[in-house]
């Protein structure tokens, strides 16, 4: 009797598991169909439809790691980084043995300038695939961006051990040595790259950056010119040469190179920005404003361009239009004292002294040696009938080396100490 009961239990057990397995297989098959629809919608540019199809696949099969990965990649492409990260996390929880998953999440971290976490993910990926030169290169770049130069050099060294004729890695290692001020090592890497690729505009561009870093302007100019000779459509070469020309005091020639760089690449935010700065230096405020607008149109989060555009608007008399730019800068850079100081200056011009003083307070709390902020707060306090406190700020500004405070103290307060 016991054997019959046991046999019955085993039959029921295996039958139930078979049914569960069949249901799982059916769900996965249906989920895969949704995945295919999602990928087709994504290729067709219908991201909202693709998102819904990925979600349908996930709702059918909560253990389908690839569906989470597909939706994560889509969300990343849509700029929805927080949601994307959640899907990457879920995919990795379901499949922690895929170096591809860690690599993809690392790319998202790099987009967010979160280099330390990117390095951690790439390290996990390399534990799974230790000789993958692509992963090594990605980690080295993240290490370079986080200024962890020794670690970057170690990874570049290993890549070159695996492939000793990799020109691009010699160039990347040269740039890393350059940043680390390792003059001879950087020069040796550039010479190796030149031997491997003697007619490459990229090699001469890096050579120019090396000389520029060490303030060897004539050599830098010659290297960038050679890069342009090898490739007359090399926009970055014109841009970099414009930087050298400006440092050499040849401003008009610098502007010509920036014009060429932008004509070759109209989605070049740094070129627009530098041309705006050059226009401003030449007194062409309207042209500068237009280029700041162009830079921000290409890169909406270009903080320095937003900051300078706000300043240029104020110089042109558009003070009310300049304030939203400074609000954006403060929002994106809440730890930058200069952003608060500049916004305070605009508010002071409008006569909003109490609000301006709050911005100066914040600037000073972030940098207690910020002499200009003490000066500006002192003037704002004087104009809001806080003479004693205003004079104290002016005195503090003078003691920090801001000489403009001396005359104001003589006029408004007692003689400077």
- Taken in order of first residue, the domains within the chain and their CATH numbers are 352-417 (1.25.40.10)
Share of the chain above pLDDT 90, in %: 80
Band (4; pLDDT cuts 50, 70, 90): very low
Retrieve residue 166's tokens: 């990799």
- How far apart CA 173 and CA 176 sit, in angstroms, is 5
**Would the pLDDT of 13 be above 50?**
no
- How far apart CA 236 and CA 223 sit, in angstroms, is 13
Give per-residue pLDDT as tens, 330-380: 998 899 999 999 899 989 988 899 999 999 999 999 999 999 999 999 999
Q: Which of 270, 269, 291, 294 is nearest to 282 (CA)?
A: 291
Mean pLDDT, range 157-168, rounded to an integer: 96
**Would the pLDDT of 294 be above 90?**
yes
Give per-residue pLDDT as tens, 172-186: 999 999 999 999 999
Per the CB < 8 A criterion, the answer to whether 157 and 188 are in contact is no
Give per-residue pLDDT as tens, 375-412: 999 999 999 999 999 999 999 999 999 999 999 999 88
Share of the chain above pLDDT 70, in %: 93
> Which spans in 282-386 are helix H?
285-298, 303-315, 319-332, 337-349, 353-366, 371-383
Radius of gyration (C-alpha) of the chain in whole angstroms: 30
Q: Which of 70, 77, 40, 73 is nearest to 55 (CA)?
A: 70
Per the CB < 8 A criterion, the answer to whether 417 and 401 are in contact is no
Average pLDDT, the chain: 91
HSE-up of 225 (CA within 13 Å, CB side)? Answer: 10
**Would the pLDDT of 17 be above 70?**
no
Residues 6+ apart with CB under 8 A from 138: 103, 106, 107, 110, 118, 122
Mean pLDDT, range 105-123, rounded to an integer: 95
Q: Which of 374, 371, 351, 350 is nearest to 361 (CA)?
A: 374
Output the pLDDT for position 323: 86
């Amino acid at each position: 009797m016991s054997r019959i009961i046991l046999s019955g239990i085993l039959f029921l057990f295996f039958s139930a598991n078979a049914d569960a397995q069949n249901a799982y297989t059916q769900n996965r098959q249906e989920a895969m169909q949704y995945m295919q629809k999602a990928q087709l919608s994504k290729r067709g540019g219908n991201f909202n439809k693709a998102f819904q199809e990925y979600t349908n696949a996930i709702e059918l099969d909560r253990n389908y790691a690839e569906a989470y990965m597909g939706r994560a990649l889509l969300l990343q492409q849509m700029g929805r980084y927080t949601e994307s990260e959640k899907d990457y996390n879920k995919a990795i929880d379901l499949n922690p043995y895929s170096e591809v998953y860690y690599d993809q999440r690392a790319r998202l971290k790099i987009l967010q300038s979160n280099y330390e976490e990117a390095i951690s993910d790439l390290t996990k990926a390399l534990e799974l695939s230790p000789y993958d030169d692509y992963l090594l290169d990605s980690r080295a770049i993240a290490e370079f961006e986080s200024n962890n130069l020794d670690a970057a050099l170690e990874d570049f060294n290993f890549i070159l051990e695996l492939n000793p004729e990799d020109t691009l890695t010699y160039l990347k290692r040269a740039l890393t040595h350059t940043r680390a001020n390792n003059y001879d090592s950087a020069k040796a890497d550039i010479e190796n790259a030149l031997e491997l690729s003697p007619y490459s505009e990229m090699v001469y561009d890096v050579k120019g950056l090396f000389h520029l870093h060490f303030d060897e302007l004539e050599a830098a100019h010659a290297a960038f010119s050679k890069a342009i000779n090898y490739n007359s459509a090399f926009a970055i070469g014109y841009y970099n040469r414009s930087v050298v020309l400006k440092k050499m005091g040849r401003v008009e020639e610098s502007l010509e190179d920036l014009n060429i760089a932008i004509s070759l690449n109209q989605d070049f935010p740094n070129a627009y920005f530098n041309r705006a700065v050059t226009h401003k230096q030449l007194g062409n405020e309207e042209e500068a404003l237009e280029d700041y607008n162009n830079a921000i149109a290409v890169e909406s989060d270009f903080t320095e361009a937003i900051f300078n555009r706000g300043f240029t608007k104020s110089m042109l008399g558009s003070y009310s239009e300049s304030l939203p730019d400074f609000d954006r800068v403060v929002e994106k850079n809440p730890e930058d004292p200069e952003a608060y100081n500049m916004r305070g200056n605009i508010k002071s011009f409008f006569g909003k002294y109490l609000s301006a003083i709050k911005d100066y307070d914040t600037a000073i709390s972030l940098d207690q040696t910020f002499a200009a902020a003490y000066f500006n707060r002192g003037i704002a306090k004087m104009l809001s009938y806080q003479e004693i406190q205003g004079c104290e700020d002016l005195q503090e500004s003078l003691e920090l080396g801001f000489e403009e405070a001396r005359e104001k103290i003589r006029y408004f307060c007692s003689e400077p100490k």
